């Protein structure tokens, strides 16, 4: 039967949506298709068992990857926290290092007798020292202690007959440490054994 130009054919529309728009439920044909999907492929029971094993292996691999990623994230967080603490300590050390000349001037004023009880400069000195002590600032360099090139800077060597090892004879400028971090080495005169 021949078509005439004036004759129109009704369009065919296939609704392939998996969810029925009116009821909101899965369509029966699609649900059955999904259940029989493996059977439609024409796979044998052995093939299905191999696919199931491959799926288990894949799941195990992804679990292993997830565990590895979680461990890497934990290590990253630990590293970031360690770096943050180190940066904080470095900044504190730099600020204290910039204020050490003021502490040196206060030490000189104290040795000269300018810091008397109740004087304003004495109160400032006490507050500065208390603030530095809060961050763990320790003064290093004592007369009579063994010379340690990691903590002391030898300015003068004094040959002394009764000395058997290098010993601090005088502290010209005290050094400072925060914990194990050297802020400034102590400048010292060292008694050395006579040759």
Asked if residue 160 lies in contact with residue 192, where contact means CB atoms within 8 angstroms, the answer is yes
pLDDT over 70 (residue 7): no
Angstrom distance (rounded) from CA 132 to CA 178: 9
pLDDT at 121: 85
pLDDT over 80 (residue 42): no
Residue pLDDT, tens place only, 129-179:
899 999 889 999 999 999 999 999 999 999 988 888 999 999 999 999 998
C-alpha distance across the termini of the chain, in Å: 128
Alpha-carbon separation of residue 75 from 35, 82, 189 (angstroms)? 44, 10, 47
Query: What are the residues whose beta carbons fall under 8 Å from the beta carbon of 9, sequence distance 6 or more?
Result: 3
Asked if residue 184 lies in contact with residue 151, where contact means CB atoms within 8 angstroms, the answer is no
Asked if residue 168 lies in contact with residue 147, where contact means CB atoms within 8 angstroms, the answer is yes
For 17-172, where are the alpha helices, taking DSSP H only? 28-35, 37-40, 45-112, 120-134
pTM of model > 0.75: no
Residue pLDDT, tens place only, 21-39:
788 787 765 445 544 555 5
Give the residue among 96, 114, 93 at the shortest CA–CA distance from 105.
Answer: 114
76 vs 18, more confident:
76
Give the residue among 101, 174, 113 at the shortest CA–CA distance from 121.
Answer: 113
Q: Give the other-Cβ count within 10 Å of 135's Cβ.
A: 13
pLDDT at 31: 42
Residue pLDDT, tens place only, 58-98:
999 999 999 999 999 999 999 999 999 999 989 999 999 99
- Encoded tokens for 82: 């360690």
pLDDT at 39: 53
Strand order in the sheet with 186-193: 152-160, 186-193, 167-173
- Encoded tokens for 183: 């802020």
pLDDT at 65: 95
């Amino acid at each position: 039967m021949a078509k005439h130009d004036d004759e129109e054919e009704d369009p065919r529309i296939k609704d392939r949506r998996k969810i029925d728009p009116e009821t909101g439920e899965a369509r029966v044909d699609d649900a059955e298709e999904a259940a029989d999907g493996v059977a439609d492929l024409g796979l044998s029971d052995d093939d299905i068992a191999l696919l199931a094993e491959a799926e288990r292996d894949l799941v195990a691999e992804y679990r292993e990857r997830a565990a590895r990623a979680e461990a890497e994230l934990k290590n990253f967080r630990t590293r970031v926290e360690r770096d943050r603490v180190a940066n904080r300590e470095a900044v504190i050390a730099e600020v204290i290092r910039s204020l050490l000349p003021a502490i040196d001037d206060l030490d000189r004023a104290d040795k000269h007798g300018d810091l008397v009880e109740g004087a304003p400069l004495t109160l400032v000195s006490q507050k500065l020292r208390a603030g530095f002590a809060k961050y763990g600032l320790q003064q290093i360099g004592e007369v009579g202690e063994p010379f340690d090139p990691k903590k002391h800077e030898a300015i003068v060597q004094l040959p002394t007959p009764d000395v058997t090892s290098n010993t601090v004879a005088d502290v010209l400028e005290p050094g400072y440490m925060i914990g194990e971090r050297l802020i400034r080495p102590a400048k010292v005169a060292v008694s050395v054994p006579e040759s």
